[in-house]
Amino acid sequence: MMNQTLDRPQRTSRGRTPKDNIRTVNSSTFQPLVLEGKGPIVVEFMSYSCSHCGAMELVLQQVAETVKSKEKFFRVNTAMEPELAGNFKIQGTPTLIMFLNGREVGRVEGPSPTISSVLTAVTQPFES
Amino acid sequence: MMPISTNAEAIQNKPILLFDDECGVCRRIAHWVQNSAGSISGETSIIVRPVGEDPDALRTLNPGLEIWDAYATIHVLMPDGSMRLGGEAIAEVLRNLPNTKWFAWSFAISIFGFQPFQMMLNVAYVILADVRPIFGCESCGTPNFWVRPFVWMIKGVKSIFGESSRPNLTPHFTSLSPPRRRSPPGL
């Protein structure tokens, strides 16, 4: 279990993490990068106008940094890619879908924006 | 989703107000600013733009602007490349509107280093930003603790009168809404 200090994401002066550990994919790059990708992959379906996604962003960046040697992280902007969101029956944002060798193995809707809960959400499906 | 125009001439000469087009309160205020900014000759004193969903388009307006920050706080992008945030952005908007510029000078008044009217405006902005969920802002996220009783009360009253709202599955989840026209007319 993470301690309280590690559970709080570190912010820059303007409130965002300096490095983007999550690559944005769209309908044309989703197939080669996610569905044909090897190993554990986490895709966040999000929208910039969703404040819960804003709260998740810092947390997910830190989690992605922590597990970058084991898992790849991508994001899909549902406002720009409504068809892709529809294909995966996304009900709202943020939704995390875990893929293993192109197959969905787990899904979490609206996880609590803390490092420990997001870390659990994105690692547990690959352990079972 | 409305793309953000990068009309270079307009950007160089006019301040740009960025607003959250998912928030009904912000849309109404932006609409009012848009109407107030027009003149008889058709020129506007301030450009009103939705934040949108494209981080790169925002960076073309100002390279230092992060889309998350633009959604978190109201921004006015100045022609000189600087940015006004929160209460200072509101003051800048009021200074640029023909109907309000007569009193907007008061925000610059400084008494022993304090700007009392600007400080009042800053507080007013923070309160307005907090109470937006009361007026039905679904995109504003989890309301602050002091606003929650009011939000629950309004939801209770609405349910009594038969207006049901779909509950979210978790407190940290924004249900997808059907596509709709998000920008004020004429933008």
Query: How large is the average pLDDT for residues B2-31?
Result: 76
Question: For position B67, what pLDDT does the model report?
Answer: 93
Neighbours of B146 (CB within 10 A): 10
- Asked whether residue A10 is assigned to any structural domain, the reply reads no
CA gyration radius for chain A?
14
User: pLDDT tens-digit profile of B34-74?
Assistant: 999 876 666 788 999 999 999 999 999 999 999 999 999 99
Q: What is the pLDDT of residue A101?
A: 94
* Closest CA of chain B from A70, distance in Å: 26
Distances (CA, A) of A111 to A64, A78, B122: 15, 17, 32
B179 touches chain A (CB under 8 A): yes
How many Å is the Cα radius of gyration of chain B?
18
Whether residue A8 is predicted with pLDDT greater than 60 in this model: the reply is no
Tens digits of residue pLDDT in B134-182: 876 767 777 888 888 888 888 788 778 776 655 555 677 787 765 544 4
* Per-residue pLDDT at B165: 58
A11: pLDDT strictly greater than 80: no
Nearest to A25 by CA among A37, A13, A15, A38: A37
User: Which DSSP letter does residue B10 get?
Assistant: H
Tell me whether residue A4 is in a domain: no
pLDDT at A109: 93
Mean pLDDT of A104-128: 93
Q: Residue by residue, what is the 3-state secondary structure of A99-119?
A: EECCEEEEEEECCCCCHHHHH
Q: How many domains does chain A have?
A: 1
A35 lies in some domain: yes
- Lowest mean pLDDT: which of A29-43, A67-81, B1-15, B110-124? B1-15
Residues of B in contact with A92 (CB under 8 A): 168-169, 173-176
Domain residue limits at A84: 19-127
Judged against a pLDDT cut of 70, whether residue A82 lies above it is answered with: yes
B139: CB partners within 8 A, 6+ apart = A49, A50, A51, B20, B22, B23, B174
pLDDT confidence of residue B177 = 67
pLDDT at B7 over 60: no
**For residue B166, what are the domain limits?**
1-187
Q: Is A69 domain-assigned?
A: yes
pLDDT of residue B2 exceeding 60: no
pLDDT at B182: 46
Instruction: Check residue B151 and give its pLDDT.
Output: 81
Residue B160, both tokens: 């009594």
Interface of chain A against chain B, CB under 8 Å?
A: 14-16, 47-57, 77-80, 82, 85, 90-94, 109-113
ipTM > 0.90 for the complex: no
Between the two ends of chain A, the Cα-to-Cα distance in Å is 19
The first and second tokens of residue A6, run together, are 């590690």
Cα B28 to chain center, whole Å? 9
Q: Is the pLDDT of residue B187 over 70?
A: no
pLDDT, position B179:
54
pLDDT higher than 70, residue B29: yes
Is some CB atom of chain A closer than 8 A to the CB atom of B173?
A: yes
CATH number for A55: 3.40.30.10
Residue A88: inside a domain: yes
Look at chain B and report how many structural domains it folds into.
Answer: 1
pLDDT tens per residue, range A34-56:
999 999 999 999 999 888 899 89
Q: What is the DSSP letter of B47?
A: E
Question: By percentage, how much of chain B surpasses pLDDT 90?
Answer: 45
Query: Quick check: A113 and A59 in contact, CB under 8 A?
Result: yes
Closest CA to B29 of B38, B39, B18, B40: B18
Query: Distances in Å between the alpha carbon of A34 and those of A20, A92, B32, B57, B59?
Result: 18, 20, 44, 25, 27
Choose, out of A49, A84, A112, A115, the residue to mutate when testing the contact with B (most B CBs < 10 Å). Answer: A49
